[in-house]
């Protein structure tokens, strides 16, 4: 842990003390005085040093945890959260987006099997019920840290191999086979992590997750993949730009 952060409080201000503390810590994170992964002093020490109550300190830290700026682990203290990965809403693979953002992406292929397409998959890929598809489940990491769990279903004839998917992004693999994803329907949501998902993504139980469901089509309009992905909300966000009509 570095030296305790200098925080100036204005006790005559109508701004609550907990909010002043939270603002000061957030500003230090944003300007680099506090680095990702850096351990903060404990709340008892901070409360004593600043001359405020422990509940006030706890409220300030909780506010920053809720905003994703800090992470708290029982027995391990409070640390500055790793920098969030911001991803544009384009038809790109997560592997490519991580590389462009300066992260080192790696992939663990957890499952790679030919299965009967579940009804929603068959519908999305516009194929008869129970048609065979290749189901791939992967854990994607950035700089060695788990970021996302991704499940994809692909027509058997174009599906990349396990080895290909461990070294390249899905869309690069498809383009290498002459398949060019051109457009996609995509839905983004949120839910809580299951116990198994939380363990794999190194999150606390019932942590918030971003969800994405996508069906991609090639230049001829053929469905080429259906994906169901979950992302750590504490480390990941989607960006989009809107234009006035």
- pLDDT tens, N- to C-terminus, the chain (245 residues): 557 888 999 999 888 999 999 999 989 988 888 888 888 998 899 999 999 999 999 999 988 887 777 887 777 788 887 765 445 445 556 665 666 666 678 899 999 999 999 999 999 999 998 899 999 999 998 888 898 999 999 999 999 999 999 988 899 999 999 998 888 888 889 999 999 999 999 999 899 898 999 999 888 888 999 999 999 887 766 555 544 44
Superfamily of domain 85-239: Chorismate lyase-like (3.40.1410.10)
Q: Which of 113, 132, 114 is nearest to 122 (CA)?
A: 132
User: Which residues in the chain are classed under CATH 3.40.1410.10?
Assistant: 85-239
Looking at residue 69, its pLDDT comes to: 79
**Rounded Cα gap, residues 131 and 127, in angstroms:** 7
In the CATH hierarchy, which top-level class contains the domain 17-80?
A: mainly alpha
Contact yes or no for 212/226 (Cβ under 8 A): no
Looking at residue 242, its pLDDT comes to: 45
User: Which residues in the chain are classed under CATH 1.10.10.10?
Assistant: 17-80
């Amino acid at each position: 842990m570095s030296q305790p952060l200098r925080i100036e409080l204005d006790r005559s201000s109508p701004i609550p003390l907990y909010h002043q503390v939270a603002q000061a810590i957030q500003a230090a994170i944003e300007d680099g005085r506090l680095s990702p992964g850096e351990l903060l002093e404990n709340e008892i020490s901070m409360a004593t040093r600043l001359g405020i109550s422990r509940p006030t300190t706890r409220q300030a830290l909780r506010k920053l945890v809720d905003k994703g700026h800090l992470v708290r682990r029982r027995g391990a203290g409070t640390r500055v959260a790793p920098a969030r990965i911001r991803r544009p809403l384009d038809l790109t693979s997560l592997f490519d987006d991580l590389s462009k953002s300066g992260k080192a992406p790696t992939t663990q292929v957890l499952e790679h099997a030919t299965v009967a397409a579940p009804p929603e998959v068959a519908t999305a890929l516009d194929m008869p019920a129970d048609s065979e598809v290749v189901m791939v489940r992967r854990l994607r990491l950035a700089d060695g840290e788990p970021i996302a769990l991704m499940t994809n279903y692909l027509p058997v004839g174009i599906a990349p191999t396990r080895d290909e998917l461990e070294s390249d992004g899905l869309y690069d693999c498809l383009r290498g086979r002459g398949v060019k994803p051109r457009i996609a329907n995509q839905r983004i949501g949120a839910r809580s992590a299951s116990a198994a998902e939380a363990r794999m993504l190194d999150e606390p139980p019932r942590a918030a997750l971003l969800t994405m469901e996508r069906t991609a089509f090639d230049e001829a309009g053929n469905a080429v993949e259906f994906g169901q992905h979950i992302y750590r909300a504490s480390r990941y966000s989607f960006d989009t730009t809107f234009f006035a009509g």
